[in-house]
Amino acid sequence: RRAIDSETQAVVAADKRWHPECFKCAQCQVGLADQEFFVVAGQPFCRAHAKGAQQLTCRKCGKS
């Protein structure tokens, strides 16, 4: 693990900071720093894997 300070370039997504080279799809590990991405359950996903990662749940009770 490397520290991210105010001088370090970082990607900010899902209330987290990532080194650009570490910001990858949680499923296929493709780099996302310069691509469209989606956040599902706090994890980044590429377009191809975001839909499969989404859990369809009721917004009110949280059950599927």
Per-residue pLDDT of the chain (64 residues; tens, 9 = 90+): 677 766 678 888 888 989 999 999 999 999 999 999 988 888 899 988 888 777 656 667 766 5
Q: Name the H helices within 1-64.
A: 47-53
* Residue 47 host element (H or E): helix 47-53
Q: What is the pTM of this model?
A: 0.71
Report yes or no: 37 and 46 within 8 Å, Cβ to Cβ.
yes
Q: Which residues contact 23 (CB under 8 A, 6 or more apart)?
A: 11, 13, 31, 32, 33, 37, 44
